[in-house]
A and B are shown apart, each in its own frame.
Chain A
Amino acid sequence: ETGVTQTPRHLVMGMTNKKSLKCEQHLGHNAMYWYKQSAKKPLELMFVYNFKEQTENNSVPSRFSPECPNSSHLFLHLHTLQPEDSALYLCASSPISGTRDTQYFGPGTRLTVL
Chain B
Amino acid sequence: AQKVTQAQTEISVVEKEDVTLDCVYETRDTTYYLFWYKQPPSGELVFLIRRNSFDEQNEISGRYSWNFQKSTSSFNFTITASQVVDSAVYFCALSEAPPQGGSEKLVFGKGTKLTVNP
Residues of A within 8 A of B (CB): 31, 40-43, 45, 48, 50, 55-56, 88, 90, 92, 97-100, 102-108, 110
Contacts and interface: CB of A to CB of B under 8 A. Distances in A.
Nearest to A9: B43
Contacts of B91: 43
Nearest to A99: B104
B66 to A, nearest CB: 15
B102 A98 contact: yes
B112 to A, nearest CB: 12
B44 A107 contact: yes
B45 A100 contact: no
Nearest to B37: A105
A97 B104 contact: yes
Contacts of A56: 102-103, 105
A87 B104 CA distance: 23
B103 A98 contact: yes
B64 to A, nearest CB: 16
Interface residues of B, number: 26
A98 B47 contact: no
A105 B45 contact: yes
B42 A100 contact: no
Given A100-B98, A102-B35, A50 B103 contact: yes
B90 interface: no
A42 B111 CA distance: 8
B82 to A, nearest CB: 23
The 10 closest A-B pairs by CB, nearest first: A105-B45, A107-B44, A48-B103, A108-B43, A43-B108, A56-B103, A97-B103, A100-B95, A55-B103, A42-B108
